[in-house]
Structure 1
Amino acid sequence: MTCFLITSLFSQSSVNDYKYVIVPNKYDFLKENDQYQLNSLSKFLFEKYGFTALMQGSDYPQDLNSNRCLAMNADVFKDSGMFTTKLKIILNDCNDKLIYESEIGTSRDKEYKVAYTKALRNAFESLETVNYAYAPSDNALAISATAGAADSESEEIKELKQQIQQLESEKNQGVVSSPGTSPSGAAIAVPAAAVTTAAVVNESKAPTSSETKGFNKVLYAQAIENGYQLVDSTPKVLYKVRKTNLKDVFLVEGKSAIIFKKGDNWVVEFYESNILRQEVLNIKF
């Protein structure tokens, strides 16, 4: 009991750092999404105790899309008991670090739905003493600022990808934009056949030798702040990359380039003399 009181007091000051709670669609001890309506009930009970609860995969607010660390991730665990159903609520942060653990809610009912519902409601009663009210700490505000910077980087990545899509579209139509411009300032269209220096990976065929010139050299990813440095066997640092809000997409420091996963390959994509190039990399994380 003493350990629990210490945990509760610590948690009371930390749950307030988080603006949202994300409730999963399914708990591990059950077989189906929202079985016995336990997940829906969890969302309802979080809101009853003052939290802003969201179901996993729903339309998240813009600030949460930009910074997932504004939310705690909820879970419910079932403790073993021969004649008693025992459930407890867990709240973890975006790095899977424990923020809060409730008291165990119990029920001796034999029917599963009744037993799970009663045990869950009993476990949620622990939150009544938390008196939750969102009040971000200085550390949480710093995390938000960092996420805002990462969001700006993601805008740059979006622009790069838009340029990539435009070039591919123009190539498919038979023309691409030349680095030169007309007197009016518009890009000059030239036959796509004349553009031979752009190396684009085609997923339906094996990469060419020019595209895979970096593949034979193994690069090892070493974790650094907000990303990785990619070193060869010497070891020499060839790239420093920073994480973004996009899955498997990294921004290359000091270059107008991104590294992203395409199929089973890692690809560095960059502009050279206004021409888009791609190179397959052999990266070991």
Structure 2
Amino acid sequence: MKTKFLSFLITFLVASSVFAQTNLNAYKYVIVPNKYDFLKEKDQYQLNSLTKFLFEKYGFTALKEGEAYPDDLVKNRCLALKSDALKDSGLFKTRLSVELKDCNDAVVFTTKLGESREKDFYRAYNEALRDAFTDIEALNYKYEPREAVIASTTVAATNTEQEIQQLKQELEALKAKEAEQTAAATVVPVVTTEKVAVVKDEAVVEAEVKEVMNSVLYAQEIENGYQLVDATPKVVYRITKTAQPNLYMVNGENAIIYKKGDTWLIEYNTSEGTKQKELNIKF
């Protein structure tokens, strides 16, 4: 009976390790905070710097919170995990664990409690953190892009561009047809029902183009950000400033708004993946 139980336990631990590795391999970055809650100062005892160093040592691309993020992370914040160090109370030991959360603040991995009996705080925290990171080392992390998410983002952007181009082409075709009929009407001044239908169709297409390309949102400054209102006026989004210029978090939604070139985009997550939409914002 003991042998069967031990075999089951070993199998479970191996399976859990493989599952955790597969999950973490899908994330490209890990963000390290500038300060841990159980300490009074930023990077006290150089613990945050050590965290970043250890993540990089074991294959991760580690970024400090608030620094200039890569373009792909700005566009899709779910490429990164957020790290934290948690202190567990102990009478004669310093004990720390490392926790990783995804972009929705769901915990995806937690290490064991690393321990140290050192009395000096600097040595104790460093030793306990290194001990906790043995679980990170055991993962043998290697980034593997989630192709389905990348593909869905590309398809969404392509579909939007195709829709705009198609509407433009329909409008130009209708204008050309109207010009031909106007020229014909100069010789034979007859107003046909077909002409009226063409004019009506053109108005519909123009309205659709305006809806896609010229729906203006006006930015009104509020505390820590802006509210975006339409011409009604109705509040469409409330956005919060970040450390990055031209990058905002959308309040109450799993989305960001950022500027790409001269274009404002909103990017949000759905069950089908990441999607984008062009916005016309006036600040």
Q: TM-score range by the shorter chain?
A: 0.5 to 0.7
* Alignment CA distance shift 1:142-1:49 (3 Å): same
Residues 44, 267 of structure 1: alpha-carbon distance in 2 compared, 3 angstrom cutoff: closer
Question: Is the alpha carbon distance of 1:267 and 1:140 closer, same or farther for their aligned partners in structure 2, counting shifts above 3 Å?
Answer: closer
In 2, Cα distance between equivalents of 1:57 and 1:67: 16
Structure 1 equivalent of residue 83 of structure 2: 74
Check if 1:141 corresponds to 2:150.
Answer: yes
Is the partner of 1:39 in helix, strand or coil?
helix
Structure 1 residue 125 displacement after superposition = 1.2
Per the normalisation by structure 1, the TM-score is 0.54
- Equivalent runs, 1:65-144 vs 2, <5 Å: 65-141=74-150
* CA deviation after TM superposition for structure 1 residue 10, in Å: 2.0
Match of 1:268 in 2: 229
Equivalents in 1 of 2:13, 2:86: separation in Å?
16
CA distance in 1, matches of 2:14, 2:91: 27
Equivalent residue number for residue 279 of structure 1? 233
**1-structure distance, mates of 2:32, 2:146:** 23
Question: Contact (CA 8 Å) 2:229, 2:236: kept in 1 or not?
Answer: no
CA deviations 1:29-75 (Å, max 9, x no partner) are 11111010000000000000011001001111111111111111111
Query: 2:217 is matched with which residue?
Result: 258
Q: Secondary structure at the match of 1:279?
A: coil
Superimposed CA distance per residue, residues 211-233 of structure 1 (whole angstroms, 9 cap, x where no aligned partner):
xxxxxxxxxxxxxxxxxxxxxxx
* CA distance in 1: counterparts of 2:222 and 2:127, whole angstroms: 47
Greater C-alpha radius of gyration: 2
1:15 Cα shift?
Answer: 0.5
Secondary structure at the counterpart of residue 126 of structure 2: helix
Alpha-carbon spacing, 1:261–1:115, altered in 2? closer, same or farther (3 Å): farther
Aligned equivalents of 1:145 and 1:81: distance in 2? 50
Distance 1:143 1:85 in 2: 46
Equivalent pairs counted in the alignment come to 178
Contact 1:23/1:73 (<8 A) preserved: yes
Displacement of 1:139: 4.8
Distance 1:44 1:281, change over 3 A: closer
Alpha-carbon contact 1:260-1:266 (below 8 Å) kept:
yes
Q: Aligned residue for 1:11?
A: 20
Q: Which residue of 2 aligns with 1:53?
A: 62
For residues 120 and 132 of structure 2, the distance between their equivalents in structure 1, rounded to whole angstroms, comes to 18
Would you say the 8 A contact 2:229–2:237 is kept in 1?
no
- TM-score normalised by structure 2 residue count: 0.54
Distance 1:96 1:16 in 2: 18
The CA distance in 1 between the partners of 2:216 and 2:128, in whole Å, is 53
Higher mean Cα deviation, 258-267 or 12-21? 258-267
- Distance between the aligned counterparts of 1:144 and 1:106, measured in 2? 43
Would the aligned equivalents of 1:69 and 1:143 in 2 still touch at CA under 8 Å?
no
Describe the SS at the equivalent of 2:82.
Answer: strand
Query: Aligned partners of 1:45 and 1:112: how far apart in 2?
Result: 19
Counterpart secondary structure, 2:133:
helix
Q: Give yes or no for contact 1:7–1:101 (8 Å, CA) kept in 2.
A: no
C-alpha deviations, 1:177-221, integer Å up to 9, x for none?
Answer: xxxxxxxxxxxxxxxxxxxxxxxxxxxxxxxxxxxxxxxxxxxxx
CA distance in 1, matches of 2:13, 2:39: 26
Q: 1:144 to 1:107 in 2, by over 3 A?
A: farther
Evaluate the alpha carbon distance shift between residue 259 and residue 15 of structure 1 in structure 2; reply closer, same or farther with a 3 A threshold: farther
| CA 145–109 in structure 1, closer or farther in 2 if over 3 Å, else same | farther
The CA deviation at 1:279 is 2.8
Q: 1:127 to 1:266 in 2, by over 3 A?
A: closer
Q: Which has the higher helix share?
A: 2
Partner Cα separation in structure 2 for residue 139 and residue 282 of structure 1: 30
CA RMSD of aligned residues (A): 3.3
Q: Secondary structure at the match of 1:46?
A: helix
Distance across 2 between alignment mates of 1:68 and 1:283: 19
Give the whole-Å Cα distance in 2 for the aligned partners of 1:55 and 1:134: 19
Q: Do the aligned partners of residues 66 and 126 (structure 1) sit closer, same or farther apart at CA in structure 2, a change above 3 Å counting?
A: same
Structure 1 gaps of 5+ residues are 154-251, 271-277
Q: 2:137 and 2:50 mapped to 1: Cα distance?
A: 16
> Which ranges in structure 2 are unaligned for 5 or more consecutive residues?
1-8, 162-210, 239-251, 253-283
1:37 — aligned with what? 46
